[in-house]
Amino acid sequence: MTRWAAAVEYDGSPYCGWQIQDGQPSVQAEVEAALSKVADRPVAVQCAGRTDTGVHATGQVIHFDTDADREERAWVFGGNANLPPSISIRWARPVADDFNARFSAVARRYRYIIANRDVRPAILHRRVVWDRRPLDAEAMARAAAPLMGTHDFTSYRAVACQAKSPVRTVHEFTVQRRGAFIHIDVEANAFLHHMIRTFAGTLMAVGAGEADEDWPRRVLEARDRRVAGMTARPGGLYLTAVRYPDEFGLPELSGDPGLW
């Protein structure tokens, strides 16, 4: 058996999320079906991070074990030939047996994209989140600064989050305006359920002038989800990169999906 790692890009709009669910279309089911055709036998995959309904990825990482003797090109191009247009395998590499897409990761990076203009987007309506309120991206960036570091993020996770500990370490947190779009980029060792979307909802309230710049810090210290902002909609969220120790020799994705 050989263990393979691969990077997967997908538009999450048509799917119930990454994970297989009975009677619902999922990214995992499509990827497993495509790779199974290449291998000519069943292939089961594990991912670095399960994304929710409507959430996208440009740098999801998976691993799978198989005794099928195939070249890297076969997994990439053969897999893509059997995938719908909304999903694409970016690369595939054989890895050590102790590699695990989820547990070997040392950091994950997400981008949340806001279309900040008067008129709602049409072509991008499932790929960004629209907010017509004039948002102050610089105020949002200042408000985000206290969220970096190691903290108890209870206030920023879903009530139903099943993580054993709410403590996470945020390595980077930036907010930048690019024309009519605002990008929120966050990199951390791991994330809680709805953590990025709650960050986004809270910062959007600051950007709109509905809350002061110190509010996200007070929310953090409250350790109470009820005091945070709304959970922003999923369409603007992208898993852009997963980072691993150099010893595994995997290609490093830029973390920038190159979108707007």
> Residue 80 has what pLDDT?
98
pTM of the model: 0.95
Q: Is the pLDDT of residue 258 over 80?
A: no
3-state secondary structure of 103: coil
Q: What is the pLDDT of residues 74-92, one digit of tens each?
A: 999 999 999 999 999 999 9
Average pLDDT of span 174-200: 97
In DSSP terms, 232 is beta-bridged to none
Q: Is the pLDDT of residue 144 over 70?
A: yes
> Residue 259 has what pLDDT?
64
> Residue 252 has what pLDDT?
79
User: Does the CA dihedral 204-208-210-212 come out positive or negative?
Assistant: positive
Average pLDDT of span 12-28: 96
Q: Quick check: 259 and 185 in contact, CB under 8 A?
A: no
pLDDT band at 216 (very low <50, low <70, confident <90, very high): very high
Q: Is the pLDDT of residue 257 over 90?
A: no
Q: Give, for 7, the enclosing helix (H) or strand (E).
A: strand 2-10
Mean pLDDT of the chain: 96
CA dihedral 214, 159, 239, 215 (to 10 degrees): 0
Above pLDDT 90, what percent of the chain? 95
User: Does the CA dihedral 221-223-229-231 come out positive or negative?
Assistant: positive
Average pLDDT of span 216-231: 96
Q: Which domains, and CATH codes, for the chain?
A: 2-104 (3.30.70.580), 107-239 (3.30.70.660)
Above pLDDT 70, what percent of the chain? 97
CA dihedral 192, 171, 253, 207 (to 10 degrees): 70
Q: What is the pLDDT of residues 111-129, one digit of tens each?
A: 999 999 999 999 999 999 9
Average pLDDT of span 127-140: 97
Q: Is the pLDDT of residue 255 over 70?
A: no
User: Does the CA dihedral 41-42-44-45 come out positive or negative?
Assistant: positive
> Residue 260 has what pLDDT?
63
Q: Report, as residue numbers or ranges, the catalytic residues.
A: 52
| 164, amino acid identity | K
Instruction: Tell whether residue 244 is among the known ligand binding residues.
Output: no
Q: Is the pLDDT of residue 243 over 90?
A: yes
Average pLDDT of span 30-53: 97
